[in-house]
Chain A
Amino acid sequence: MTLSFNAETFRDDYTFANSPTAIRAFPFPFERDDYTYTVNIEQHVPGPVQSATEFPIHIDEHYVAEMQDRAITLAQDPLRCQSLPHMMTAEWDLVELLMTSMSTHYPETFTLTRDGNRWHWINRPLGLDQTFTFGDASTLPQGPMEYITRQCQGDFCLLDQRDDNLWMDAGMVTTQADWSLDFDLGMNFMEWHAPVPLAHDLGVFERALKFLLNLQQGRPVRRLNWTMTINPRLDTSPENYHRWGIDKASVTPENVGDKVHLRVELQALWRLPRSNAIVFSIRCYLIKMDELVTQKKWARRFHRVLASLPQPIADYKGLARFRDTTVAWLSRHDDGLPTSPGFAPD
């Protein structure tokens, strides 16, 4: 399958849009018509053909535009990509994971040739052709993590494992739902989750940490998380919140379909071989309400989920300013018929 790439933007004029194929591949995160909180971790095994989970690393029509948007964000704020000195081995592990996966599953787009430590990487859509020595950072134009994550959709965090904890010691984070790599860098698992309300008291993070400390090579896991974003903006960082926060006040009954987006994060975790670190990938998918309602099942279900969402969760996700307007708009697309089981569109 040859990929074609959209010319589109995630800022200023916001021309981002999903094709019908991309809409059907969207990782719709609701399995039922009412909201239930679940940690929903599952094995990161191949999903249906042409879905977001068909391959371990998903490259789609937004690839080139997302990489251009990342470059703009990094030019304005280089601290979105940082790595503590002891993470170099994990950086190389990440290079291997991403280059291997991308070239295996998208061979017409990416090619990797390995001859011992002599590696040759070709990225056709970005026009890159790089020969380098695996393990020797001086042979790449940027650090290994920065080099490859400038070429792969999704944010990536490298978690060092020590003292029976995981430490956020490196990352490329430009499409985050309002958390700061620069601030969280060097924190352990409990510290970087400290702001999340309630879950600590439920012991959610203790259990999740215990699970992840025993995460095994070759057994990656994934989960879906969701929130909503006004305008198809990838960079909803705290750093720029004073610029984009005002967008939340801009939703009207007339512009819901175009402005309000469901934002889904496909999060996956892999144990890395040489470093024993874990890579935590956070791939962001956006879909505007006009696109979502092209799938009748999703329109009905998302209307019901959003309407039944408990207020504290809505507050936590920051939906307060536009939830009612959005529910009212979605109600026009919900005929009350039952929905079929599962996530997939009908």
Chain B
Amino acid sequence: MRRPSPDRLTSLRDMTMQPTPIRSRPLYGTLAPVRQATRHIVLAEGEGASAVTDAFRGHDALARTSILFSPAPRSADRRPATDLASLSCEALHVASGVEDLLAELATTLSSATMGTRLYISGSEDFIGRARSEALQRGIDADAIQTEHRGAPTRRVQCVHCKGFTDGVAASPTVCSQCGLYLLVRDHYSRRLGAFMGVCIDAEAPGEIPPAEAFGA
């Protein structure tokens, strides 16, 4: 049974006394090329490449597929890029990092037409950022598929200073911008591509419970 954690700020005290693992988060599926699509744009980060090869290897869709790949942060693993190259898709762009990939995505989508489908695979924070960027470029939400591969790390927005912290693996965490200890709430914004982080010790300064890692 799904057990929603109490999430209003006013119930933080109870969460700090008895930390509840966060149970709900965006649902991810398994990539499956849509046959009717006129064009496929694939975004992969790190281990996300394996979801792409699983879904697309040998598929007719490859002739109409552009893949944008970024290695995982701080990873020197060349294998995913090599695997993607072996698919022989229409175009493969290996970016230097996520920023570079997202810039390339913006260019690609600016000339894209209806019938285009988007596929995103990688860490949770990557999926969140990439989907948020794509939605801003006008693609319909139901033209996007996502599959989670790699670390269960999250992108968190601090509700107090509005700063984003990427690669968050556990709650509470420290805001990379303002330094407050944040509870990562079970509340996710597709627009921002991030979970909400809220000061965890506002009612009892200094009472910081031990961090709990997010489940895979």
Contact = CB atoms under 8 A, between A and B. Distances in A.
Prevailing SS type, chain B contact patch: loop
B10 A178 contact: yes
Given A239-B160, A245-B202, A183 B196 contact: yes
A5 interface: no
A238 to B, nearest CB: 5
A118 interface: no
Interface string A180-200: 101111110001001111101
B72 interface: no
A245 B14 CA distance: 14
A241 B199 contact: yes
Contacts of A241: 9, 159-160, 198-199, 202
B215 interface: no
A245 B11 contact: no
Interface residues of B, number: 33
B202 A246 contact: yes
B64 interface: no
Nearest to A199: B4
Contact of A182 (B13, B162, B180): B162
A198 B4 contact: yes
A19 B13 CA distance: 34
B157 A227 contact: no
A177 B185 CA distance: 16
Interface residues of A, number: 39
Find the residue from A241, A242, A246 having the highest chain B CB count within 10 A: A242
Nearest to B205: A246
Contact of B8 (A183, A191, A195): A195
B76 interface: no
Contact of B198 (A201, A238, A317): A238
Interface string A232-254: 00000011111111101100000
A197 to B, nearest CB: 5
Contacts of B13: 248, 318, 320-321
B6 interface: yes
4 A-B pairs with the lowest CB-CB distances in the bound complex, closest first: A318-B10, A245-B202, A195-B7, A186-B191
Interface of B: 2, 4-14, 24, 157, 159-160, 162, 180, 185-192, 196, 198-199, 202-205
